[in-house]
Amino acid sequence: MYQLDITPFGDFEKFSLHNPVSGNRLDLVPAFGACVLDLQIAGQSILDGYQTPEEMLINKWGKNTVMFPFPNRLQDGKYEWLGKTHQLPINDADTGNALHGFGRKKEMRVEEIETEENFAAITCLYSSQGEEVGYPFAFTFAISFRIEDTGNVEVELLFQNDDEQPIPVGFGWHPYFQLADTIDQMELQLPAAEMIEVNNRLIPTGKRYLYNYFLNIKPIDSTILDNCFALSSEQNKAQVTLRGERGILNYWQEMGDHKFNFLQIFTPPHRKSIAIEAMTCNINAFNNKEGLITLQPGAHAHARFGFSFESVK
């Protein structure tokens, strides 16, 4: 039976959903963008999470956090919408762009919790009445996590337009998976996709190239990636396999209208983990419109991704 524990985590509260029998555990901080601190399957941690409240507040690398109202980068933090120019804060000093929106530090409230015999689930919600700098629209965002004794994890993101006009929308999640001491020791398989070419500010140039280096599973070794991939429109689900000494992760994300049609892969310099990021749109989508969702008043968009993990016995 799954249990819920709520304990202090600095100035925040940590919500822990866990099953002592199966060894499954999900730790997250709803009031800091629903940041996931730890995820264990059969007692094995598979995420590279923040260890202390201080580390979480610094938020380096944006580990295991939500990305809304856009994922990835927005050039100069600027875009035009319905004849007006909007300016978001620049939070990526290296490139002079806005990065991952503003959702990863927002105070989300717990909307619902389920603790059952074989699974547990939690939904966190954030609402804005249009007070966000550079994004003056009313909206509601929700993220739901479900963890099952079978080793399956499912995450659903939902974005609803509460405004009186159409609004631009993009979202995603930013997990860092850790299945070995270094990613050099891990193996990766990616779906057929086109790599988005970017300039020195990591903004798309408009060119795309077929990428099949990891079409068959192979060691990551010294490969460096910080790239967005446009997935085949013929698919309704994209799948990624990640294998390390701790086990095998089979990842999937929904594709289709208003779904996760883009995928970002990032190998951070510390090379302790790898980010596999589901995204509804391309980099700089508020400007290039690639994958951008135009959400009508009262409408919502939602998409799911998930993964199963099998530990090495």
Mean pLDDT of 114-129: 98
Domain that holds residue 235: 3-311
Mean per-residue pLDDT of the chain: 97
Mean pLDDT of 46-52: 97
DSSP category for residue 132 = B
pLDDT band at 232 (very low <50, low <70, confident <90, very high): confident
Rounded Cα distance, 80 and 106, in Å: 24
| Beta carbons of 152 and 308 less than 8 angstroms apart | yes
Backbone φ/ψ region at 258: left (φ over 0), alpha (ψ -120 to 50), beta? left
Q: What angle do CA 224, 225, 229 make, to 5 degrees?
A: 155
Exposure of 94 in the CB half-sphere (CA atoms within 13 A): 6
**In one letter, which amino acid is 239?**
Q
Name the pTM for this structure: 0.96
CA 10 to chain centre: 24
* Tokens linked to 64: 């295991």
71 bridge partner residues:
none
- Percentage of residues in the chain with pLDDT exceeding 70? 100
Q: What angle do CA 48, 92, 163 make, to 5 degrees?
A: 95
> pLDDT of 294-303, one tens digit each?
999 999 999 9
pLDDT at 313 over 70: no
> pLDDT of 243-287, one tens digit each?
999 999 999 999 999 999 999 999 999 999 999 999 999 999 999
Please spell the DSSP secondary structure of 224-250, one letter per residue.
--EEEEEEPTT-SEEEEEEEETTEEEE
Sign of the Cα pseudo-torsion (141, 306, 168, 275, in order): positive
Closest CA to 184 of 229, 228, 218, 227: 218
16 bridge partner residues:
5, 27
Strand, helix or coil for residue 142? strand
* Number of domains comprising the chain: 1
Mean pLDDT of 100-125: 97
Closest CA to 150 of 63, 23, 298: 23
pLDDT band at 311 (very low <50, low <70, confident <90, very high): confident
- Residue 41 sits in a domain of what CATH number? 2.70.98.10
- Give the chain's radius of gyration (CA, Å): 19
